[in-house]
Amino acid sequence: MSILPAMSRQGHHRSPNLILPTSLPTSPKKRQQNGIHLIRDKDVKDHHQQKNIKELSKEETATYQNSFKHSICIEMLRQGYHKSFSELFTLIHKWNALRDAGGPGSAIWQQKPLEEQHEKLDQLQHFLTRAEAAQRSGYYEEVYKNQFALAQYFKKVDDQWLSNHFYECCFQTAKQIKTDGGRKEAEANANLATMAEEHGQLEKAAAHYEAFYHLTVGRIWKDETGRTHNSLACENLWRIYTLLSDKMLENKEWQQAIKTLIKALDMAREGCDKKMEGEAAYQLGLAHISSGNPQIAIKYLNTYMEISKRLKDNVGLGKAYEAMAKALESQGKIVESIEYLENFIEVAKTSNLSQSLAETCICLGDIFNARGNYEKACQYFSQAYETAVNLGEVSLLEETQVHFGIAKAHRMMLAVSRHTEAADYVSMEYLLAWKKNRSDMFSDPANVVSLAPIEADSSKVCGNGEKLETALKNSE
């Protein structure tokens, strides 16, 4: 066999071809056949000699050649982790599909594709293969643990979509764990519910929390902080039900909301949390008031009042008085309602609850205003105004300004109309005088006496008028 360099004439006779000669094997016999291997069943000679050039192994070259995703997939498949491979592959595929569906400009379009995030792929490979190994030998708890770790990891790196996916996986796995009496299943339900709540899917969250609740009834399982699972379930259910009812109230579905709130109240009672119970009762009271059922509302509000009193929760008490007054007002028992409110003002003053105090003053002022007792209305509104000034809260300040202005205007209106009705000379003079300087002389009961105090008073009232105007502008 000739190993001399290719100097044969045949090579030169050919049409010049730049690529061909380099790739041809050294045997001239083969070159004639244009590199095709024909049948060699006669005098077969194997020209293959093992050349011991070992620089890189095949695995190493493959890692240089292929993408990271490719290498990871091959790594898993080689060890027989085909389920992990399918899972990873499908996840990447789904993510890309989601991205395409979102189109350019959507939030997901800006994110880095999953296949380029090597850290995440590494984590996926690690835990998925371990989960699969555990699954093969039937240790579902181990599977659960690994999937849970993945879910936690993705939650930590703020990948909602993936953590959601793995919480779902945990849930599916937990269903198959029979030995622990459903503890894992309960936990998986709680996790799913938390995720659903974060995404604003309240109905789904409620369903999962209900499952969590049913699974934990009568159990003494505790979480890391030492709280029983069941009380956790009660609290969460109470919260979800309250949120749900809020939504229903917004849509004016009173009966639905009341039903949900009753469930919330039951949960709160079962969770043995007085504060929650009070809240639920209060919400129920409010719902009954808006659905036009003050009688029942009063019953619930009484419960709330008692609980607040026992917990020494003055804010709660204030809210209770206020709601109670509203309920009584809509029943037409104004006197009692006023009584409650005045009660509360006392409470608020002593316990220094400026916010509630201002609100209640407004409330009382409103009532007196509506009943035509402008004098008293003015008095309460001014009290509210002062409190608001002390609080320094702009929105509240503006609100009280408007209320105060309206009440003052009402008070003035009475005197003006009286003078207009009288229609005698003195009254006319009076009205004209007022028109000229626009001072607050009608509000003075002894208005006939002199103009001097009126002038003195005018600056303050004018100030009030301006306040009213600015407040109105602001509130627009």
Partner 1 sequence: MANVNPLSNPKGVKRQCELCGSPAYVQCSGCKVTYYCDVGHQRTDWTSIHEKICQLLIPVRTPAPFLNSAAERAHAVDQLLQRKKHLIELTTKEAQRLLYEGHHVDAIPAATHSLSFSVDVYGLRSVELVPVYLILAEANIGLGHLTQAEEYLSHAYWTVLKSTDCSNSIRSKLHRNLGLLYSAKGEFEESLRHLSNDVYFASTVSGPSQISTSGGFFHMANIFFRQNRMDIADSLYSEVTDIWHAHLSRLVEVQIQASLRSVTVWFDDADQEYLDENQEAEALQVLSAIYDIREQAPKKEPNKMAKILHALTMLFFLSRDFNKASEWGKKLLPMTEQLARDDQSDSIAVLIENIEGKLNTKQVAYQQDT
In the chain, what are the helix, strand and coil shares in percent, each to the nearest 5? 75, 0, 25
Q: Minimum Å distance from CB 171 to partner 1?
A: 20
Answer for which of 36, 335, 432, 446 binds partner 1 (CB under 8 A) is: 36
**Does 51 contact partner 1 by CB under 8 A?**
no
**Does 90 contact partner 1 by CB under 8 A?**
yes
Q: Minimum Å distance from CB 38 to partner 1?
A: 5
In the numeric block, which tokens belong to residue 263? 């469930």
Q: Minimum Å distance from CB 315 to partner 1?
A: 57
Answer for which of 48, 51, 156, 312 binds partner 1 (CB under 8 A) is: 48
Q: Minimum Å distance from CB 20 to partner 1?
A: 7
Cβ-based neighbours of 157, under 8 Å, separated by 6 or more: 120
CB 431 within 8 A of CB 420: yes
Altogether, the residues listed in the chain come to a count of 476
Give dist(CA 172, CA 117) in Å, integer.
27
Work out the burial of residue 146: count CB atoms within 10 Å of its CB; fewer than 13 is exposed, 13-18 middle, 19 or more buried.
Answer: buried
3-class DSSP state of 50? coil
**Does 23 contact partner 1 by CB under 8 A?**
yes
Comparing CB distances to partner 1, the nearer of 13 and 473 is: 13
Residue 252 region by backbone torsions, left for phi larger than 0, else alpha for psi between -120 and 50, else beta = left
Comparing CB distances to partner 1, the nearer of 136 and 199 is: 136
**Does 54 contact partner 1 by CB under 8 A?**
no
CB 375 within 8 A of CB 417: no
**Does 222 contact partner 1 by CB under 8 A?**
no
Draw the binding track, 108-147, toward partner 1 (x: CB under 8 A; -: no contact).
----------------------------xx----------
Give first-to-last CA distance, the chain, whole Å: 102
Answer for which of 9, 12, 40, 112 binds partner 1 (CB under 8 A) is: 40
Report the candidate in 318, 229, 223, 306 with the shortest Cα–Cα distance to residue 270: 229
Q: Minimum Å distance from CB 29 to partner 1?
A: 8
Q: Minimum Å distance from CB 33 to partner 1?
A: 6
**Does 73 contact partner 1 by CB under 8 A?**
yes
**Does 14 contact partner 1 by CB under 8 A?**
no
Answer for which of 3, 7, 18, 39 binds partner 1 (CB under 8 A) is: 39
**Does 53 contact partner 1 by CB under 8 A?**
no
Answer for which of 1, 3, 7, 46 binds partner 1 (CB under 8 A) is: 46
CB 36 within 8 A of CB 59: no
Give the number of residues in contact with partner 1, rule: CB under 8 A: 36
What are residue 222's DSSP bridge partners?
228
Report the candidate in 149, 109, 114, 105 with the shortest Cα–Cα distance to residue 129: 149
Comparing CB distances to partner 1, the nearer of 24 and 431 is: 24
Residue 469: Cβ within 10 Å count: 12
Comparing CB distances to partner 1, the nearer of 87 and 440 is: 87
Give dist(CA 316, CA 311) in Å, integer.
9
Q: Give residue for tokens 């764990």.
A: 177
Give the interface with partner 1 as residue ranges (CB under 8 A): 19-20, 23, 32-42, 46, 48, 58-59, 62, 65, 70, 73-74, 77-80, 82-83, 85-86, 89-90, 93, 136-137
